[in-house]
Amino acid sequence: MPMACDLHKWMLRPIHTWLRCGSGNTVLKPCRAARPGWRTGRPRPAAAALMASPGRLAAMRLSPLRVLVLAIAVAGCAGTATPGTVATPAPGTARSSTAAGTARYTPATTGAWDWPVYHHDPARSGYAAATLPAGPLSIAWTRRLDGAVYGQPLAIGGLVIVATEGDSVYGLDRTTGAVRWRAHLGTPVPLSSLPCGDIDPLGITGTPVYSPATGLVYAVAETAGYRHMLAGVSITSGRVRFMRDIPTPDGQPRFDQQRAALALAGGRVYVAFGGLDGDCGQYRGSVVGAPASGSGPLVSYLVPTARGGGIWATGGPVVGPGGTIYVSIGNGAATQAPFDGSDSVTALSADLHRAGIFAPAVWAADNAADLDLGSMSPAVLPSGLILAAGKRGTGYLLDGSRLGGVAGQAAAAQVCQAYGGPSVRGTVAYIPCGDGGTAAVDTAGRRIHVLWRGPPTAAGSPVLGGGAVWVTDWGAGTLYQLDMATGHVRHQIALGSPLPHFASPSLSGRLVLIGTMSGVVAVSGA
């Protein structure tokens, strides 16, 4: 079986010879014999570069077909690759900040099967166009880690990136689940030291984000001393390139929790803060923008309420047209006029100045009864409209370019009590409902029309791909594959572990990746 160093021998073989690389995972089918009339000639520059070592190859004359097959062979021998990505290292050769190996992984910029951010893209569409057609489900692999995985797994090339409540970021082999590297960012905060909350210990909760420009994965770790540390971790080695304290703008880090997914836009990482479960302390919701380089001034937005107004929905800040950032804000202190900026969808500029706001006419009653919009991140539609929903169950259709202020919606209708992150395809938004399962909501004609509801207990945040809707029942630890047109269950599978609240799968090729209370599981879904 030829390796890269044996290619000069392979070049002398007939072109129909079978090729196998490394462990035998990559097999090239035999090529047909050269067609009559094809001539050999001097190698093209790219081929000559490939043949520069051994020196004997540089002088060889190759047919165009041999040049092409040689290039394929070199790429194949490097490891297993997925469409749009580079090859991963052979098993057992990964490098880690905690001594898991010595080799390096080289990522692509972004590939067709990549999932680099919560719900796939900056707009949080949750739609992966390159997902293979959905089919029967089976467990591909399971990996136990040092804590629960509340955020979505990311998929970058041959790696799956997950962050845990143990304050670790892992790079796992996409095919096998083997640990390629681990970056441990600190000591998580035990629940016993917090005034309220429901996660024990409290480490990395928000979904990380990957930047192809820097080659870094960004995550925020809650660490001993009630600090929120933004880390940039090299995807090639797992080394921590920087760690930076992100002071919460309300000055109450003990009461602030970083649960929302991170966002990346315009060279900044955006980090949103809400309160702990139980709403204890004098916290206020906020967003902080930090340079992706790891140094430079921070920008921030602090919700102008006396208390509360958390930005905690798992989908986090959503990047809309022109780089506008949209956030859903929870209940605040005011229960009568004047309006205090809570219970709203708020638009922010790149430097986090408020550019627009919407609040329901019943915002004061929402605040008093904890029935606010802060439980689901906004659904940004391709038309420029935004669908917002929250704990009260009313859906509001908004004009994203001018949110309209108090009672400024384009349409309103009952949808469901919404918790988590929605997904979007065309005019339809798929809403995570805590009271009766996923809701497919059509917004055509600037109206709100519920098309169907999913299984009643499937309350996770849905994603879309392969002609299906994928959603979890976190209480039962079940993954559902739903028909996109009807919501009917096509397939379902028990995952063998309970799931965090609001759990949302990630899609990568044939795999469905889900964080669990003990690690991560990969399901083969195509």
Q: How far apart are CA 273 and CA 264, in angstroms?
A: 16
- Position 363 pLDDT exceeds 60: yes
Residue type for 281, please?
A: G
The token pair that represents 166 in the structure block: 């143990």
196 backbone dihedrals φ, ψ, rounded to 5°: -165, -175
- Position 65 pLDDT exceeds 80: no
Q: How far apart are CA 325 and CA 304, in angstroms?
A: 17
- Mean predicted lDDT score pLDDT of the chain: 85
Would you state the pLDDT for residue 369? 98
- Position 133 pLDDT exceeds 90: yes
Question: What pLDDT, in 10s, does the model give residues 184-236?
Answer: 999 999 999 999 999 999 999 999 999 999 999 999 999 999 999 999 999 99
The token pair that represents 58 in the structure block: 């540089």
Of residues 354 and 31, which shows the higher confidence score? Answer: 354
Q: How far apart are CA 178 and CA 197, in angstroms?
A: 32
Q: How far is CA 45 from the centre of its chain?
A: 40
The residues pairing with 514 across neighbouring beta strands, listed in sequence order, are 521
- Position 505 pLDDT exceeds 50: yes
**Dihedral, 43, 46, 48, 52 alpha carbons, nearest 10:** -170
Interacting residues of 402 by C-beta distance below 8 A, sequence separation 6+ = 356, 408
Of residues 23 and 449, which shows the higher confidence score? Answer: 449
Q: How far apart are CA 416 and CA 414, in angstroms?
A: 6
| Span 468-473, average pLDDT | 98
Of residues 93 and 394, which shows the higher confidence score? Answer: 394
429 backbone dihedrals φ, ψ, rounded to 5°: -110, 140
The token pair that represents 321 in the structure block: 């047209």
- Exposed (0-12), middle (13-18) or buried (19+): which is 91, by Cβ within 10 Å? middle
Question: What pLDDT, in 10s, does the model give residues 237-251?
Answer: 999 999 999 999 999
414 backbone dihedrals φ, ψ, rounded to 5°: -70, 130
Q: For residues 237 and 104, is the Cβ–Cβ distance under 8 A?
A: yes
| Span 401-429, average pLDDT | 98
Would you state the pLDDT for residue 104? 52
Interacting residues of 427 by C-beta distance below 8 A, sequence separation 6+ = 381, 382, 383, 442, 443, 444
64 backbone dihedrals φ, ψ, rounded to 5°: -55, -35
Would you state the pLDDT for residue 18? 33
Question: What pLDDT, in 10s, does the model give residues 335-347?
Answer: 999 999 999 999 9
326 backbone dihedrals φ, ψ, rounded to 5°: -110, 135
Q: For residues 319 and 265, is the Cβ–Cβ distance under 8 A?
A: yes
The model's confidence at residue 100, banded by pLDDT at 50, 70 and 90, is low
Q: How far apart are CA 127 and CA 461, in angstroms?
A: 12
Would you state the pLDDT for residue 17? 34
Q: How far apart are CA 95 and CA 480, in angstroms?
A: 35
| Span 162-191, average pLDDT | 99
Lowest-confidence region among 20-24, 160-164, 225-229? 20-24
Task: Report domain extents, the chain.
Answer: 4-77, 127-524
3-state secondary structure string, 83-118?
CCCCCCCCCCCECCCCCCCCECCCCCCCCCCCECCC
- Position 76 pLDDT exceeds 80: no
Q: How far apart are CA 127 and CA 424, in angstroms?
A: 7
The Cβ of residue 486 has, within 10 Å, a number of other Cβ atoms equal to 12
Would you state the pLDDT for residue 179? 99
- Position 102 pLDDT exceeds 90: no
- Position 361 pLDDT exceeds 50: yes
Q: How far from 270 is each of 153, 234, 277, 352, CA to CA, in Å?
A: 18, 19, 22, 10
- Position 13 pLDDT exceeds 50: no
Would you state the pLDDT for residue 436? 87
Q: For residues 458 and 497, is the Cβ–Cβ distance under 8 A?
A: no
- Position 480 pLDDT exceeds 50: yes
- Longest pairwise C-alpha distance within the chain: 86
Would you state the pLDDT for residue 340? 98
The residues pairing with 28 across neighbouring beta strands, listed in sequence order, are 19
| Span 60-77, average pLDDT | 38
Closest alpha carbon to 419 in 314, 332, 276, 516? 314
- Position 521 pLDDT exceeds 50: yes
- Position 82 pLDDT exceeds 70: no
- Exposed (0-12), middle (13-18) or buried (19+): which is 488, by Cβ within 10 Å? exposed
DSSP string for 202-233: B---S--EEETTTTEEEEEEEETTTEEEEEEE
What topology does CATH give the domain 127-524?
Methylamine Dehydrogenase; Chain H (2.130.10)
Would you state the pLDDT for residue 111? 87
Q: How far from 430 is each of 125, 313, 420, 453, CA to CA, in Å?
A: 10, 16, 11, 10
Q: How big, in percent rounded to 5, are the helix, strand and coil portions of the chain?
A: 10, 35, 55
- Position 11 pLDDT exceeds 80: no
Which SS3 state, helix, strand or coil, does residue 318 take? strand
